A and B are shown apart, each in its own frame.
Chain A
Amino acid sequence: QVQLVQSGAEVRKPGASVKVSCKASGYTFTNYAIHWVRQAPGQRLEWMGWIKVANGNTKYSQKFQGKVTIARDTSASTAYMELSSLTSEDTAVYFCVKDPGGSSSWEYFDYWGQGTLVTVSS
């Protein structure tokens, strides 16, 4: 069955960076895009960006341009999301999610990772 397993919770100080991993299994990793969505306390879900796993092309929300980097390692069936220049407003649960589209992204999400809590605190 399809699974997305994320790395564990992280605590960082303001100004630092964090990198979250997302290991996929149960499907052909290179055939589907991976997106990242975050959920800050009391806030709505927020789409951050996505990567077309087959060729590594990325697209980011304008809000996160320059702050987030999404990458993948096809040999490890793993996607990564790195967030830099952290502030307290980046405290949130970060989800990797699978796009059900094949060669083209459909931009809704059929499978979700379990989420990774990133806490930014001095």
Chain B
Amino acid sequence: EIVLTQSPGTLSLSPGERATLSCRASQSVSNSYLAWYQQKPGQAPRLLIYGVSSRATGIPDRISGSGSGTDFTLTISRLEPEDFAVYYCQQYGGSPPYTFGQGTKLEIK
């Protein structure tokens, strides 16, 4: 089973700043099958990124994904108030189970 470790656990930033969230896998993620989700309190997660860097429908281009192998990054170039939430990475495409990271909480400083 691939274990995903996200860092930092909590990130405190101000609107307008740049956010960089990390996701590290215990072994190489096959074919770059890595997704990112955003979850706000009391809501279901929302797909942001799939295939490491492809944005889901309706996701603004200030949100981007990058990485390969075992190290992946979600970047939000200019934080908007609606971006403050918890973010999860997920690996897929190989043998199940399809696992998630423990999450990074992005909070307003």
Contact = CB atoms under 8 A, between A and B. Distances in A.
Query: Are A and B part of the same complex?
Result: yes
Interface magnitude class on chain B = 20 to 34
A44 to B, nearest CB: 5
Contacts, number: 55
B99 A108 contact: no
Contact of B92 (A95, A106, A115): A106
Given A107-B92, A107-B93, A108-B92, A44 B103 contact: yes
Contacts of A106: 50, 92-93
A8 B88 CA distance: 25
Interface stretch (B14-22, B40-48, B74-82): B40-48
B106 interface: no
B97 A62 contact: yes
A45 B87 CA distance: 11
A47 B47 contact: no
Interface of B: 33, 35, 37, 44-47, 50, 56-57, 88, 90, 92-93, 96-103
Interface string A92-122: 0001000010000011111111110000000
Contacts of A73: none
Contacts of A115: 44
Nearest to A45: B100
B88 A45 contact: yes
B33 A108 contact: yes
